[in-house]
């Protein structure tokens, strides 16, 4: 394997929360250069949280996704820019009809480069929103993968009620996004 071949296999990861992780999981799978998305929990205090604990507001975690992307195909900036399209970062206390701190808008950075990029992206995005963006930008201390049944939920359950009413229309709209069609 040549050096060029090995560098193209390298991926980077970013952890984001923009409401229900079933929605953000499905959305980020549309973005060119994304190699994998894992639903999980981050931003809380308890070790190894469960979905039930998250829903009962016992741990402080948010529903998040860990996005693995190939930097040769997409950039950290593009991954962050898409974040502002995927959800409403001005809504406090949830997303759409999903209410609670587990659905908050959050970017969890793993290093200084991600922190700077997130802050810059937020500042640019704020220019396009009339209300203040409420997204938290905080250090990632630990990512906990969600239970298996949450992974690839929309792909596995496209006819489930929530998927039909909430996720499918969002995905249909995002498929026309310049970030996805380029």
Q: Which domains does the chain have, with CATH numbers?
A: 9-150+157-170 (3.30.1060.10)
pLDDT of residue 178: 87
pLDDT of residue 47: 94
On the question of pLDDT at 4 being above 50, the answer is no
* Catalytic pick among 20, 23, 39, 163: 20
**What's the mean per-residue pLDDT of the chain?**
93
Nearest by Cα to 180 from 88, 79, 101, 67: 79
How far apart are alpha carbons 107 and 64 in whole angstroms? Answer: 9
pLDDT of residue 146: 97
Grade residue 112 by pLDDT with cuts at 50, 70 and 90: very high
pLDDT in tens, 76-103: 999 999 999 999 999 998 998 899 999 9
Q: Let me know: does 64 contact 143? Beta carbons within 8 Å.
A: yes
pLDDT of residue 48: 94
pLDDT in tens, 120-172: 999 999 999 999 999 999 999 999 999 999 999 999 999 999 999 999 999 99
Q: Is 20 a catalytic residue?
A: yes
pLDDT of residue 9: 67
How far apart are alpha carbons 36 and 12 in whole angstroms? Answer: 10
On the question of pLDDT at 7 being above 70, the answer is no
Q: Which residue has the tokens 């071949």?
A: 5
pLDDT of residue 181: 81
Q: What's the rounded mean pLDDT across residues 56-82?
A: 96
On the question of pLDDT at 41 being above 70, the answer is yes
The token duo for 131 is: 């209300």
């Amino acid at each position: 394997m040549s050096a060029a071949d090995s560098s193209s296999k390298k991926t980077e990861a970013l952890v984001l929360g923009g409401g229900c992780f079933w929605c953000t999981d499905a959305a980020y799978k549309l973005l060119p250069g994304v190699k994998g998305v894992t639903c999980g929990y981050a931003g809380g205090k308890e070790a190894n949280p469960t979905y039930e604990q998250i829903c009962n507001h016992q741990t402080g975690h948010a529903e998040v996704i860990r996005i693995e992307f190939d930097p040769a195909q997409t950039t950290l900036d593009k991954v962050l820019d898409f974040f502002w399209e995927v959800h409403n970062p001005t809504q406090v206390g949830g997303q759409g009809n999903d209410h609670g701190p587990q659905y908050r808008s959050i970017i969890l950075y793993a290093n200084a480069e991600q922190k700077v990029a997130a802050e810059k992206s937020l500042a640019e995005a704020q220019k396009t929103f009339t209300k203040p963006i409420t997204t938290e930008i905080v250090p990632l201390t630990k990512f906990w993968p969600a239970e298996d049944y949450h992974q690839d939920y929309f792909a596995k359950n496209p006819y489930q009620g929530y998927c039909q009413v909430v996720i499918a229309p969002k995905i249909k709209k995002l498929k026309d996004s310049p970030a996805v069609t380029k």
